[in-house]
Amino acid sequence: MSGRISRRTFLKGAAVLAATSGVSWSATKAYRWLSPAEAAPLAREEKVVRTVCSPNCWQTCNHLVTVREGKVVKIAPAPMPDPEYNRICLRGLTHIQRLYHPDRLKYPMRRIGERGEGKWERISWDEALDFIAGKFKELRDKYGPQAIAVVHQSGNYGLLNGGYGGAYRFAGVLESVLASGSVDQAVSIGFSSALGTGIFDAYCNECADWVNARTIILWGSACAESQINEWHFIWEAVEKGAHLVVIDPIYTTTAQKAHTWVNLRPGTDIAFALGMLHVIITRGLVDKEFTLNKTCAPFLVREDNRLFLRQGEKPLVWDTRSGRAVPYDTPDIVPALEGQFEVNGVKCTTAFSRLKTVVQDYNPAKVAEITGVSPEVVVKVATLLATNRPGGIKFGFGADRYHHADLLGQAMITLLGLTGNIGKSGNILGMFFAGFDPMVYNVNWLLPRGTSPKMLPLIQLQDTVIRQNPYPIKAFYITCSNLLVQTSDRNRWLREVWPKLELVVAVDQFFNNTLNYADIILPAAHYYETEEIVLSGDVPYVLYRQKVIEPLWEARPDWEIYRGIASRLGLGQYFGSIEEECAKWLDMPLMRQQGIDYQRLKKEQAIRFLPKPYIPWQDGKFKTPTGRLEFYLEKKVPQGEELPVFKWPLEAGPDSPQAAKYPLILITRHEKFRVHSQYENQPWLREINPEPFVDLNPQEARKRGIGDGDLVEVFNDRGHVTLRCRYNEAIPPGVAHIQQGWWFYRDGHHQELTHARYKENTLNYSFFDVRVEVKKV
Amino acid sequence: MAKKYGMVIDLKRCIGCHTCAIACKLENNVPMGLFWNRVLTRGGPGLDIPEGSYPYLKREYLPVACQHCENAPCVKVCPVGATYKDPDGRVLINYDRCIGCRYCMTACPYNARVFNWQEPLRIPGHSYGSQGVPDRKRGVVEKCSFCQQLVDAGGEPFCVTCCPARARKFGDLNDPESEVSRLLRERPAERLLEDRGTRPQVYYLR
């Protein structure tokens, strides 16, 4: 080791830290050179409170928080019922800074200058709530309840104070528009359709079971950074001999750990998946037993309209014993997997035969041309998944951020189905997500008044406001969301949407780059300052968040703010006490069956509600109408996408009209220092990661006369951002990379560069499907 | 037999996430601008930058704190006996004795020690971490103690507790039954700058 590392190496690292931190945080107090050091006095009054951290890394880590003399002094991982889920990360450990941050919002404030000008006056909570309720009433009377849009994202998984419970209920009671979603859902839409589930349902084996995998494909997932606490399961599988494949154009920390790193061209993931299907089908690697009996592969597809041939509701298969078409679930038949058939004059083939036709052109050589990956790699990865079982595919959301990502999801689930990698220990089906499954929905709780919110996919909010159609939206109530930093086409928000809004209320903890454009800002309580149930992310528990300290300054839990506004509109009865609302929410069949009520939850704080180990689909029965894995999607026949096909994305492909003018694809990926835009201003994290850079491959930078560290402008027709360039060989030529989530830049913002164009069936933001150019300033 | 505390860090497991660095700051009341525990990138010129040319790349993370050397150069140069080797094999500092001469910082080949050039600045403004962490003032050198306050109470260093990759193990190198001793028997381990003869008690598995 001494040969490769010198003392210089250690000094180098330290210099970086000193240079970045010393400047911003220097104190210039009195000179006290030789004052004696004192041991801290011992045995001061202390208590330890167990609570939950719940941003959208969806790890929902349970924390043990030490409070000394009324102040939070330490945060540690709490023991879970299954110790493999004990967890914390660099971000969670900084909550102590977030709580007491000098920049934390302390009071409700009202804008007194122009929007974005930064002039505010402190107002009381009563003034703020009276004003908001008054304006809401006025707008509701004049334009109807949909003049108001509650806008929420994923900032908190708390039931009452988070986006998915409280905000939903608030919008439902008001009958307002509820704008949310549109992020991270395209791959899952394609993937889960075949299973017959919702997009964030518990369709995957729990993470603790991943250690039994033999082949793991991390597809567009920087798991070692963005789901840090899932990483150890992956690595334990590797230590037991699993082969790790990472598919990512960028040499991430996750890619660095791979046995096989598939560095395909951005936006070509579907072609790679089709190549894998080609290999699996043409080389006889299909799990015939599973494919015939558990999937729609033998279903007969009509040649005239490409729909299943049916008898009544039931799709037919060709029984090779009797030589005729029979319902797929007829006992004692041997269905044909492929072939051409004629049934009562209708020409048919099987779904499998159609798939075979679709993928026939995607031989490894052609896939290599499209993706830039060698043909041997296509064969290797496909063979591993099919033969080194059990295996699985974990998707992150890197490959999700392109226009046709749903087709990638379809291809992934088809790969898992054809290789029989479903329903067994060691299988990974995309992502494990427990807390949003229908089994833990409580619709009665969500809609207590019997009125519903008008659901609007977030990506359609810009158009809706601009056109005032289908809803006459005049006011935003933004919570759990840094809207202008985490959604696309920022200039359009500010130039075309904002002028149409008579009121923008934003609830948060800091002056991020959304709040500065609000009219009324309300200081939200921190995770540690509230009590509630927390919807679990990738852990199989229902969780209890205990209040650690009272909200600091005048911060209030979101739930109390809802109550404050609703009660002024005569609807306060729907926002009861924490105790009663949490108890009511738990009153659902799944919890009742297991004897989980609020008293018990308060005592145990984390209760497993799924069987151990949680391995869905063991019976081979899916939630589709036929109970089969329906990788052939009849509903997508009109688009010609009933089976996965390769299409270049909107902008990122070489065929894009933008390609000549804007040769670089902009990737804004998640790194370890933030969860979306949360933790952006945490001083300890900023000591390590002090400022935004655009990462360029040195080759691309030099072509443009850009030096390492030079100030550059990244631009396209939609907007620009000014920041420093960093030479980074981890980034392929042809790509510009900026960490997502930065609030402020010297000028512009990376979300000025992104667009809000979407595919009708996914309504998903394509954050990476973007082209830019970079120039020195 | 006397104890000899040591640490084993599995570099195959390490993902360079800096959780150990932040955990250390929190537990030990380390002020802004200072780190007892840092994660270096072994590769290209800066943090997280790999070496090589795309796609032929290499990158490895190296968490570095005090190596608690058996033959500790910092102990030898300290003119006031502030830095010492304790009976359990740790290199510790008596902050009351430190005169801020920084000889130890020069002597340490690992750059593991940091100096309070200014009045310690903390965010939050109050002291944090476990009770029993010694207070340090402007003008003293500080560094990792293997979380003495936790270990002496039967616990483990906080970086070990928090590591999401479960890459860090702590224990008694003199105890053949300890996890660290077992790992060192089972897997090839290296120490940093072995040619310096410092005999670190922190081992790296690769």
A655 within domain boundaries: no
Is A729 close to B137, i.e. CB distance below 8 A? no
Domains and CATH numbers, chain B: 5-205 (3.30.70.20)
Residue B25 with chain A: CB contacts under 8 Å = 684
Q: What is the pLDDT of residue A87?
A: 98
Chain B residues 60-79 with CB within 8 Å of chain A:
60-62, 64
Q: Looking at the partner chain, which of A13, A37, A687 has a beta carbon nearest the beta carbon of B134?
A: A37
A522 within domain boundaries: yes
**Both A51 and A150 in a single domain?**
yes
A318 within domain boundaries: no
Is A11 close to B193, i.e. CB distance below 8 A? no
Q: What is the pLDDT of residue B139?
A: 97
Residue A608 clears pLDDT 50, i.e. is over it? yes
Cβ neighbours of residue A444 under 8 Å, at least 6 residues apart?
Answer: none
Q: Which residues of A612-640 are buried (b: 16+ CB within 10 A; e: fewer)?
A: eebbbbeeeebbbebebbbbbbbebeeee
Q: What is the pLDDT of residue A26?
A: 33
d(CA A345, CA A351) in angstroms, rounded, equals 19
State the smallest CA–CA distance between residue B134 and chain A in angstroms: 5
State the smallest CA–CA distance between residue B4 and chain A in angstroms: 23
Residue A399: CATH number of its domain: 3.40.228.10
Question: Could you give the number of structural domains in chain A?
Answer: 3
Tell me how many residue pairs between chain A and chain B have CB atoms under 8 A apart: 245
Is A225 close to B109, i.e. CB distance below 8 A? no
Residue A687 with chain B: CB contacts under 8 Å = 32-33, 35
User: What value does the mean pLDDT take over residues B177-202?
Assistant: 97
Residue A9 with chain B: CB contacts under 8 Å = 40, 42, 62
Chain B residues 103-142 with CB within 8 Å of chain A:
109-112, 114, 117-121, 123-140
* Cis-peptide into A523, omega within 30 deg: no
**Both A148 and A256 in a single domain?**
no
Residue B33 with chain A: CB contacts under 8 Å = 17-18, 21-22, 25-26, 687
User: What value does the mean pLDDT take over residues A398-412?
Assistant: 97
Residue A735: CATH number of its domain: 2.40.40.20
By C-alpha distance, the chain A residue nearest B61 is A253
By C-alpha distance, the chain B residue nearest A708 is B45
d(CA A464, CA A148) in angstroms, rounded, equals 12
Q: What is the pLDDT of residue B44?
A: 79
By C-alpha distance, the chain B residue nearest A64 is B162
Q: Tell me the pairing of strands A428-430 and A391-395.
A: parallel
Which residues face A477 on adjacent strands?
A150, A505
By C-alpha distance, the chain A residue nearest B19 is A90
Residue B144 with chain A: CB contacts under 8 Å = none
Which amino acid does the sequence have at A604?
Answer: E
Q: What is the pLDDT of residue A3?
A: 41
Q: Looking at the partner chain, which of B26, B40, B41 has a beta carbon nearest the beta carbon of A93?
A: B26
Which residue from B126, B130, B189 is spatially nearest to B157, judged by alpha carbons?
B130
Q: Looking at the partner chain, which of A71, A256, A685 has a beta carbon nearest the beta carbon of B126?
A: A71
Is B52 close to A729, i.e. CB distance below 8 A? yes
Q: Which single residue is written with the structure tokens 């033969």? A: A387
DSSP class of residue A406? H
A241 within domain boundaries: yes
Residue A603 clears pLDDT 60, i.e. is over it? yes
**Both A170 and A214 in a single domain?**
no
Residue A645 clears pLDDT 80, i.e. is over it? yes
Residue A43 clears pLDDT 70, i.e. is over it? no
Q: What is the pLDDT of residue B100?
A: 97
**Both A389 and A262 in a single domain?**
yes
State the smallest CA–CA distance between residue B126 and chain A in angstroms: 8
* DSSP H or E segment with residue B182: helix B179-186
A480 within domain boundaries: yes
Q: What is the pLDDT of residue B43?
A: 79
Taking only the tens place, the pLDDT of each residue in A250-262 is 999 999 999 999 9
By C-alpha distance, the chain B residue nearest A68 is B128
Chain A residues 201-230 with CB within 8 Å of chain B:
224-225, 228-229
Residue A401 clears pLDDT 90, i.e. is over it? yes
A174 within domain boundaries: yes
Is A36 close to B192, i.e. CB distance below 8 A? no
Q: Are A17 and B38 in contact (CB under 8 A)?
A: yes
**Both A151 and A242 in a single domain?**
no
Q: What is the pLDDT of residue A11?
A: 57
Backbone angles phi, psi at A267, to 5 degrees: 85, 5
Torsion sign, CA atoms A307, A310, A312, A313: negative
**Both A176 and A230 in a single domain?**
no
Q: Looking at the partner chain, which of A12, A26, A97 has a beta carbon nearest the beta carbon of B118?
A: A26
Q: Which long-range contacts (CB under 8 A, 24 or more apart) does A262-265 make?
A: A262/A373, A262/A377, A262/A381, A263/A372, A263/A373, A263/A732, A263/B54, A263/B55, A264/A371, A264/A372, A264/A373, A265/A370, A265/A371, A265/A372, A265/A732, A265/A734
Is B195 close to A2, i.e. CB distance below 8 A? yes
Q: Tokens in use for A735?
A: 């790509």
Would you call A37 an interface residue with chain B, using a CB distance cutoff of 8 Å?
A: yes
State the smallest CA–CA distance between residue A640 and chain B in angstroms: 36
Taking only the tens place, the pLDDT of each residue in A83-112 is 999 999 999 999 999 999 999 999 999 999
Chain A residues 656-685 with CB within 8 Å of chain B:
672, 683-685
Residue A75: CATH number of its domain: 3.40.50.740
Would you call A18 an interface residue with chain B, using a CB distance cutoff of 8 Å?
A: yes
Taking only the tens place, the pLDDT of each residue in A324-375 is 999 999 999 999 999 999 999 999 999 999 999 999 999 999 999 999 999 9
Cα end-to-end distance, chain A, whole Å? 42
Would you call A707 an interface residue with chain B, using a CB distance cutoff of 8 Å?
A: no
A30 within domain boundaries: no
Would you call A101 an interface residue with chain B, using a CB distance cutoff of 8 Å?
A: yes
Taking only the tens place, the pLDDT of each residue in A490-505 is 999 999 999 999 999 9
A336 within domain boundaries: no
Q: What is the pLDDT of residue A170?
A: 97
Q: What is the pLDDT of residue B133?
A: 97
How much is the pTM?
0.95
Taking only the tens place, the pLDDT of each residue in A708-750 is 999 999 999 999 999 999 999 999 999 999 999 999 999 999 9
Residue A229 with chain B: CB contacts under 8 Å = 164
Task: Provide the pLDDT confidence category of residue A2 given band limits of 50, 70 and 90.
Answer: very low
**Both A406 and A530 in a single domain?**
no
Q: Are A135 and A503 in contact (CB under 8 A)?
A: yes
Q: Looking at the partner chain, which of B51, B117, B128 has a beta carbon nearest the beta carbon of A73?
A: B128
Q: Looking at the partner chain, which of A40, A232, A730 has a beta carbon nearest the beta carbon of B49?
A: A730
Q: Which residue has the higher pLDDT, B104 or B1?
A: B104
Is B13 close to A21, i.e. CB distance below 8 A? no
CA-based Rg of chain A, rounded to a whole angstrom? Answer: 27
As a whole-number percent, the residues of chain A with pLDDT over 90 amount to 93
Is A5 close to B161, i.e. CB distance below 8 A? no
**Both A262 and A178 in a single domain?**
no
**Both A630 and A612 in a single domain?**
no
Taking only the tens place, the pLDDT of each residue in B32-50 is 999 999 999 997 789 999 9
Residue B110 with chain A: CB contacts under 8 Å = 7, 10
**Both A721 and A696 in a single domain?**
yes
Q: What is the pLDDT of residue A9?
A: 61
Q: Are A719 and A752 in contact (CB under 8 A)?
A: yes
Residue A216 clears pLDDT 70, i.e. is over it? yes
Q: Looking at the partner chain, which of B27, B60, B138 has a beta carbon nearest the beta carbon of A74?
A: B27
d(CA A656, CA A734) in angstroms, rounded, equals 14
By C-alpha distance, the chain B residue nearest A71 is B126
**Both A286 and A387 in a single domain?**
yes
d(CA A576, CA A560) in angstroms, rounded, equals 9
Residue A20 clears pLDDT 60, i.e. is over it? no
Cα end-to-end distance, chain B, whole Å? 29
State the smallest CA–CA distance between residue A696 and chain B in angstroms: 11
- The residue segments making up the domain with residue A673 are 664-776
User: What value does the mean pLDDT take over residues A155-167?
Assistant: 93
Q: What is the pLDDT of residue A462?
A: 98
**Both A126 and A273 in a single domain?**
no
Average pLDDT, chain A: 94
